[in-house]
Structure 1
Amino acid sequence: MQVEQVSPHDYKDRILRFKKRVVSQPHELCIERAKLFTESYKTTKNEPQNIRFAKAM
């Protein structure tokens, strides 16, 4: 298998365009989702972190 070396300069412009597009978008916050996450985290205090997150989703 042949592996090609790629310099950061080759993809820097693409990353910068993507970053600009992401940062320029309006941000939203769903209060209801935050409340549900908090409620779930309060009821699953003794469980592993990954399980708590999965149940909150």
Structure 2
Amino acid sequence: MKNSLGFVGFIAIIFLTFGITYLDFDNLSFGYNYKAYAMLIIGVVLFGFVLYGFKKSSKK
């Protein structure tokens, strides 16, 4: 099992970071923050793939 997250993990962290940064906490409506919510969702999905890969590789 490798210790680094790899490229997909790095991209997931970038999406999560920019999603949180672009989120307007004063107005959390989806219509106003759709780009931030899209980045957060993509980041969570990519990070889920990374965790699934770690789990799958640790079973071998």
TM-score after normalising by structure 2 = 0.29
Which fold has the larger relative contact order, with Cα–Cα distance below 8 Å and residues 6 or more apart in sequence?
2
Q: Which has the larger radius of gyration?
A: 1
